[in-house]
Amino acid sequence: MTTVPALAELNFVVIPLLSTSHLIPLADMAKLLAQQGVTVTLVTTALNAARFTAAIDRAIRSGLVIRVVELQFKGKEAGLPEGCENHNDVPGLNYRRQFFAAIDMLQEQTEKLLEDMKPKPSCIISDAYVAWTADTADRFQIPRIVFDGMSCFNQMCKYNMYILKDQNKIPESGTFVIPDLPDRIEVTKAQLPPHFNPAGTVVIQDIRDKIRAAEKRAYGVVINTFEELEQRYVDKFRRLKDGRVWCIGPLSLCNNDNLDKVQRGNKGSFDKEDILKKWLDSWEPETVVYACFGSLGRITVVQFVELALGLEASGCPFILVIKTGEGQAPIEEWISKNGFEERTKERGLLIRGWSPQVVILSHPAVGGFLTHCGWNSTVEGISAGVPLITWPLFAEQFLNEKLLEHVLNIAVGVGSQAIVHLGEEEKFGAQVSNNAVTDAIKKVMDKEKEGKKIRKRARELGEMAKRAVEDGGSSHLNVMLLIKEIQEFQLNQSAKTALV
């Protein structure tokens, strides 16, 4: 007689895409699963492992069973420059194909790893963009659970837009309504992700097609959201996926230790926690605006000028995160010549490079989050109960803005009208004026009128997020249901084997 496998006998193999915004939530997920007593094997490469080693090592010392396996990244063989093990480090659009070729080269190493793995792999939780894991899961006869870093709202928008695309019904100009959604969502083609709006961008359609085909074969989907946030969209997406959708977020809330929050995602590179805390502590509650465009979001110097002047004119204390590295010299030159940093030093703090975002957002002084609407940032802002000033840039970010403004009612937009394709920012110039930035900030930070309603709703959602991950909460329950699903799958497989 076969018995249900014990939790310690289950081995969840987690395979992220090698991109910072994809690594962070899956490293969080590894901790979340291990907290329930299962074994987790996190598959990555040496340079990428360094981004979360400190936090994972602390989790292991606390008794969690997490194994980090470092594969050899064959970037040179794929035609990439040296040191490009992470998508954030790839120098330009023309290297995208080579990057995904290097990702494909990890398949053989991974399968050799799985052959000798103890405990045997129970399932693969794979980033949607690592398409070859579909074939690997089939070979080892285990479920492949897809992690796609977006909301159920976004999943349903994407599903219905593919129907429109296949029918050639996406209009070239003007607004249109995305069909069959619980809410009326109007968009333009210029606001859609590249698979619906390829004009002007380097499109690797064959790779997109492969990713989409692999996603359709998935056993199920895990989502970094919580049911109370978007219940109607969760229900619709579950019906599409035969019930195999597990909402287990917000994943960032698995980090209870402040050091984990500070070091989350980038080698623990931020070393000014004391200065940051002292600065934030000096301000009244809900008065500071935090402005950050994520790990990939980039703006030109002309657009940065509008952002900076808009923040300054708002009159609010602010934290502004500025990227470092290639292409940032013109921005630093403007800051120096204009005297912006010196002029605003009494109420402005500039962070260069990596920012401990979860720490900042959770501080009582922060009252508004100016964001590019990447889903990680969006759900982190929601978790903190902070209202948002939305400035979508690329990918699915305009759809996230629609959710925040028109469904959840916790945001005000700066008025951006079209996608700025990743890597082609110079072609677009300044799309948003400093006056628009100032106006949006003032609306959100206003303690009366519109701002009061937005702030109240944001606080309510923040409390819901925290309850969702507590014992007995919806996301905690979904984690347990996911583990139970894999236990039952393994039990059924064992029963079939016993009959042979």
Residue 205 is predicted with a pLDDT of: 84
* Residue 168 CB coordination number (10 Å): 6
Query: Do both 460 and 481 map to the same domain?
Result: no
Q: Could you give the CA distance from residue 473 to residue 490 in angstroms, rounded to a whole number?
A: 26
22/153 same-domain check: yes
Count other Cβ atoms within 10 Å, centred on residue 382.
27
Rg of the chain over all Cα atoms, to the nearest angstrom:
22
Say if residues 398 and 373 touch (Cβ distance below 8 Å).
yes
Instruction: Kindly state the tokens that stand for 129.
Output: 């963009």
What's the rounded Cα separation, in Å, for the pair 64 and 42?
A: 13
Q: Write down the pLDDT at residue 230.
A: 99
DSSP letters for 399-451: HHHHIIIIIS--EEE----S---TT-GGGT---S-HHHHHHHHHHHH-SSHHH
Q: Could you tell me if residue 254 is inside a domain?
A: no
Give me the pLDDT at residue 273, please: 85
CATH number of the domain within which 380 lies: 3.40.50.2000
Number of domains in the chain: 2
CA–CA gap between residue 349 and residue 287 (Å, rounded): 14
Distance, in Å, from the CA atom of 311 to the CA atom of 391, rounded to the nearest integer, reads 13
Q: Is residue 322 part of a domain?
A: yes
- Is residue 259 a part of any domain in this protein? no
381 neighbors 403 (Cβ within 8 angstroms): no
Check whether residue 488 and residue 414 sit in a common domain.
no
Say if residue 461 is in the same domain as residue 475. no
Helices (H), 46-146: 46-49, 53-61, 75-78, 96-104, 106-115, 133-140
Q: Clarify whether residues 302 and 425 are in a common domain.
A: yes
Reduce the DSSP state of residue 14 to 3 states and report it. strand
> What contacts 315, CB < 8 A, 6 or more positions away?
none
Instruction: Give the span between the Cα atoms of 127 and 100, in whole angstroms.
Output: 13
Q: Please give the Cα distance from 478 to 109 (Å, whole number).
A: 31
Same domain, 235 and 276: no
pLDDT at position 83, please?
87
Element (H or E) spanning 475, and its range? helix 474-499
227 and 303 both lie in a single domain: no
CA-to-CA distance for 488 and 477, rounded, in angstroms?
16
By the 10 Å C-beta count (0-12 exposed, 13-18 middle, 19+ buried), 187 is classed as buried
Distance of alpha carbon 498 from the chain centroid = 42
Does the residue 1 lie in any domain? Answer: no
Q: Is 257 inside a domain boundary?
A: no
Query: Does any domain span residue 262?
Result: no
Q: Are 243 and 283 in a shared domain?
A: no
> Which letter, b or e, does each residue of 95-106 get, where b requires 16 or more Cβ atoms within 10 Å of its Cβ?
bbebbbbbbbbb
The label of the residue with tokens 């996230």 reads 400
**Residues paired with 45 in a beta bridge:** 71
Strand-pair partners of 187: 176
d(CA 369, CA 205): 34
Give the span between the Cα atoms of 342 and 339, in whole angstroms: 5
| Alpha helices by DSSP H, 315-389 | 329-338, 340-343, 357-361, 375-383
Q: What is the value of pTM for the model shown?
A: 0.95
Same domain, 198 and 333: no
Residues 379 and 232 in one domain: no
Quote the pLDDT of residue 268. Answer: 43
Q: Indicate whether 312 and 375 sit together in one domain.
A: yes
Considering the domain boundaries, does residue 89 fall inside one? yes
- What tokens appear for 210 in the block? 């492969």
- Name beta bridge partners: 291: 320, 370
By residue range, what is the domain housing residue 422?
A: 271-466
Instruction: Answer yes or no: is 125 within a domain.
Output: yes
Are 320 and 312 within 8 A, CB to CB? no
Assess whether 462 and 479 both reside in one domain.
Answer: no
pLDDT tens series, the chain, 500 aa: 567 778 989 999 999 999 999 999 999 999 999 999 999 999 999 999 998 988 899 999 999 999 999 999 999 999 999 989 999 888 877 898 999 999 999 999 999 999 999 999 999 999 999 999 999 999 999 999 999 899 999 999 999 999 999 999 999 999 999 999 999 999 999 999 988 987 555 558 889 999 999 999 999 999 999 999 999 999 999 999 999 999 999 999 998 777 777 767 664 445 688 899 999 999 999 999 999 999 888 899 999 999 999 999 999 999 999 988 777 899 999 999 999 999 999 999 999 998 999 999 999 999 999 999 999 999 999 999 999 999 999 999 999 999 999 999 999 999 999 998 777 777 777 899 999 999 999 999 998 888 999 999 999 999 999 999 999 999 999 999 999 999 999 998 877 776 65
